[in-house]
A and B are shown apart, each in its own frame.
Chain A
Amino acid sequence: MSAPETSGAPARVRPLSPHLTIYQMSRYSLLSSIVNRASAIVLSLGQILLAYWLIAAASGARAYGRAAAVLASPMLKLVYAVLLAAFAYHLIAGLRHLVWDTGHGLDRARSRQSAGWVLALSVLLAAALILWVLRGAGPR
């Protein structure tokens, strides 16, 4: 374990997190971190879609009809499934992070265990949400 020197980095340099060259993450925590960030990026991009949908709704029935042709396309239905899965994962992984912030569950064994729980629960939640959409009146 070679601890990095507490070097005199200027205060302007903001901290970075995955110091992959000096910090050996376990496979599980690495995977859950990557998936959490991937789901974050997906949800961030989803906000563009949300804005587009709201603007279309605000622009009147005719404009909404034109937008609906895009929003209800098969391609977009796949996007909604991905968004719901990302929501499910990011929600449950976020709850894990909030528990970590209280100082609990940080040891290796328990963080590995909770990574498994996060994955299992988020798959269940994502499946439940997608099934709900499929059983309902049809998405969008």
Chain B
Amino acid sequence: MSERPALGRVRGYGSAKEGVREWWAQRLTSVALVVLGCWFVVSLLSLPAHDHATVTAWIRGAWTAPMLIIFVLVCVWHSQLGMRVILEDYVHEVGWKTLCLAASSFAHVAIAVLSVVAVLRIALGSDG
């Protein structure tokens, strides 16, 4: 089955067949974002005004909230994967790299949660 020396296997050298997972996620999210990103920009620019009444009425529209939530989640996911690659390429010192990656992950999760909660609050009409 394997001709690799035992030491190499123990140290985890070689493919675990999981290396393409994030690569694939980055591609899937980019394909989705071609559609979602264009939808978001066109919708935003199509609004007749950007005052509170217009914006909340738009978000309360039948399809806006689900689309907006999907857009935010896919966007944040794509962004987290991409920022991770950029940080790994340019921040080499282990301590800094760990700190930057952790901060980036926390920030992405925070943005996703805050955005989705805001959309839900508007769509379900608990405020404003």
**Residue positions of A touching B, CB distance < 8 A:** 8, 10-12, 14, 16-18, 37, 40-41, 43-44, 47-48, 50-51, 54-55, 57-61, 63-65, 68, 72, 84, 87, 91, 94-95, 97-98, 101, 129, 132-133, 136-137, 139-140
- In whole angstroms, what is the CA distance A140 to B49 when docked? 7
Could you say which of A11, A47, A60, A65 contacts B127, with CB atoms under 8 Å apart?
A60
Could you say which of B51, B53, B83, B119 contacts A44, with CB atoms under 8 Å apart?
B83
Q: Is B16 an interface residue (CB 8 A)?
A: yes
- In whole angstroms, what is the CA distance A132 to B118 when docked? 27
**Residue positions of B touching A, CB distance < 8 A:** 8, 11-14, 16, 27, 30-31, 33-34, 37-38, 41, 45, 48-53, 55-56, 59, 72, 75-76, 79, 82-83, 85-86, 88-89, 111, 114-115, 117-119, 121-122, 127-128
Q: Check B79–A43 contact: CB distance below 8 A.
A: yes
- In whole angstroms, what is the CA distance A139 to B41 when docked? 12
Could you say which of A48, A55, A72, A84 contacts B41, with CB atoms under 8 Å apart?
A84
A contact residues around B88 at 8 Å (CB):
14, 16
Provide 23 A-B residue pairs closer than 8 Å at the C-beta atoms, listed in order of the A residue: A8-B13, A11-B11, A11-B13, A11-B16, A41-B86, A47-B76, A47-B111, A47-B115, A50-B72, A51-B111, A51-B118, A54-B118, A57-B52, A59-B127, A68-B50, A72-B50, A87-B41, A91-B34, A91-B37, A95-B34, A98-B30, A98-B31, A139-B50
- In whole angstroms, what is the CA distance A56 to B96 when docked? 33
Could you say which of A17, A50, A68, A132 contacts B89, with CB atoms under 8 Å apart?
A17
Which secondary structure dominates chain A's binding surface? helix
| Shortest beta-carbon distance from B80 to chain A in Å | 9
Q: Check B119–A54 contact: CB distance below 8 A.
A: yes
Q: Check A51–B37 contact: CB distance below 8 A.
A: no
A contact residues around B51 at 8 Å (CB):
64, 68
- In whole angstroms, what is the CA distance A136 to B51 when docked? 14
